[in-house]
């Protein structure tokens, strides 16, 4: 019999997501999350640097997956194709079974400006890491930054479409569509309505 229940982090994350969903992020105190998880406020802040971070615990692993996936693609591929392939691979590896979970999580984030800020800086960090990986593959500085930023833009737009959809199409489907649209736009052929 151990002194504490196991998986403190997991309990904190679950309690936080539930409370943020029920009453909103701003209306939830760290002490309430800790209490629901059977811990104290002080312990909450030992596991997470701040109230928002508890929703982004997986971001580091996700970024690693992105970077490793991109690094494993043959350097013969054009940067934009390497990015496209990376996005699709990660989408299939992580987001195939998570439509409902992603939807709930995204709803919570969208409802709070503070959480949106945190999500944006995570995406910026991801973009910087992808750009650095492209540079290691021999891509020019500026081209690497722009390829990574474009990839993130494609991901944002595709993800938004996927989360708002009914689950009939996979995230990878949305990403392919989004990438094609970006190529069309960059070529000066932005699509008109209808």
CB atoms within 10 A of CB 81: 13
Which one of 41, 149, 160, 181 is in contact with DNA (CB under 7 A)? 41
140: contact with a copy of itself by CB under 8 A: yes
186: contact with a copy of itself by CB under 8 A: yes
Rg (CA), the chain: 19
Which one of 71, 157, 165, 170 is in contact with a copy of itself (CB under 8 A)? 157
Q: Could you tell me if 80 and 147 are in contact, meaning their C-beta atoms sit under 8 angstroms apart?
A: yes
d(CA 87, CA 107): 22
23: contact with DNA by CB under 7 A: no
Which one of 154, 163, 172, 175 is in contact with a copy of itself (CB under 8 A)? 154
Span of 8-16, 22-30, 100-108, 117-125 interacting with a copy of itself by CB under 8 A: 117-125
Which one of 22, 49, 76, 187 is in contact with DNA (CB under 7 A)? 49
Instruction: Provide the sign of the torsion angle of the four alpha carbons 163, 168, 172, 173, taken in this order.
Output: negative
Q: DSSP secondary structure string, 117-128?
A: HHHHHHHHHHHH
Span of 13-21, 36-44, 53-61, 157-165 interacting with a copy of itself by CB under 8 A: 157-165
* Tokens matching residue 119: 């999500």
Phi, psi (degrees; rounded to nearest 5) at 20: -60, -35
| Binding footprint of DNA on the chain (CB under 7 A) | 1-4, 8, 28-31, 34, 38-43, 45-47, 49-52
């Amino acid at each position: 019999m151990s002194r504490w229940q196991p998986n403190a982090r997991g309990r904190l994350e679950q309690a936080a997501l539930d409370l943020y969903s029920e009453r909103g992020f701003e209306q939830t105190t760290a002490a309430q999350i800790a209490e629901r998880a059977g811990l104290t406020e002080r312990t909450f802040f030992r596991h997470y640097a701040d109230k928002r971070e508890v929703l982004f615990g997986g971001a580091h692993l996700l970024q690693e997956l992105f970077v490793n996936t991109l690094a494993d693609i043959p350097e013969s591929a054009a940067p934009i194709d390497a990015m496209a392939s990376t996005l699709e691979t990660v989408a299939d590896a992580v987001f195939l079974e998570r439509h409902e979970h992603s939807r709930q999580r995204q709803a919570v984030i969208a409802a709070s400006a503070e959480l949106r800020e945190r999500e944006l800086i995570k995406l910026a960090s991801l973009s910087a890491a992808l750009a650095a990986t492209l540079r290691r593959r021999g891509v020019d500085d500026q081209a690497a930054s722009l390829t990574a930023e474009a990839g993130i833009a494609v991901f944002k737009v595709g993800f938004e479409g996927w989360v708002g959809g009914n689950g009939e199409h996979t995230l990878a489907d949305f990403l392919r569509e989004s990438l094609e649209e970006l190529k069309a736009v960059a070529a000066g052929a932005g699509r008109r309505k209808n």
